[in-house]
Structure 1
Amino acid sequence: MRALVQRVGRAAVHIEGDVAGEIGEGLLILICAMAGDAPEAPAKMAAKIAKLRIFKDEAGKMNRALRDTGGGALIVSQFTLAGDTSRGNRPGFSAAAPPAEGEAAYKAFIAAMRAEGIRVQTGRFGADMQVSLVNDGPVTLWVEV
């Protein structure tokens, strides 16, 4: 499983002009299930992200996790994170899990984040979405499990 995690002041996802999900301070998580992911990958990814110490403490150091701040998570499926650009100019996506597996992993990741005590908003798997955000820091991390 692969994720691009951004610390945000706010973020929203729109589908067909309507707000599907939005958060204030927290994390925008673009998530991709990869072909061959272990069944425990969504839970491992959720535990890792919920505990990432990337929020400032009282001294201004990145020492607090999302679960410490009470912030939210906006989770958006993003199969293009599996894109391979090593050959030519058109990315290949064969490393991404097939759609049915990807959707199941996406839903399992959402459930696992909620089980970690995180307030979650989402996009919709497979939808054409417009995502807006204010990246805080900026802090952006690539996470794989």
Structure 2
Amino acid sequence: MVLRDTSRRTGAARDAGVNDFPELRGVRVGIHDTYDRVVFDFDKGTPRFVAEYVDTLHQDGSGDVIPLKGDQDLKISFLRSVPDPDFDDGGRNTPVIRELRLVSYFEGETLFGVGVDPEGDGPAGFRVTTGKNKIILDVAHRAAGSAG
């Protein structure tokens, strides 16, 4: 699989009622031949989301700068959701994902930062898909402009 697109991704809530705040129940990270995968598991449906590269990652509410390991900062926000209170930031280092951090939960928005360090110059391509009660983020091992 070749992931070359680095543009912003948004998605609508899926199977979540208008008054529901799906709770994040777990985060799994996997390594594949050409990309790394992060799976966000929710309890009932999935919330709306926005995923995009940012020059600087800021904590919601305080505005504090949040430094991440890696050359690029990819943020993924879940709107109208509740974070997993037991989320552990450790042990998520893969070929391209250098850090995965729960940055903040503020006014119903759960914000994660993904520190990305692909092979080559420029941002790694990524895609976001949804499944039953999960949002899946795939990040390419190579920068979008790199041959290979």
User: What is the TM-score when the length of structure 1 is the normalising length?
Assistant: 0.26
Point out the structure with the larger helix share: 1
**1 or 2 for the larger relative contact order (CA 8 Å, sep ≥6)?**
1
User: What is the TM-score when the length of structure 2 is the normalising length?
Assistant: 0.26
Point out the structure with the larger strand share: 2
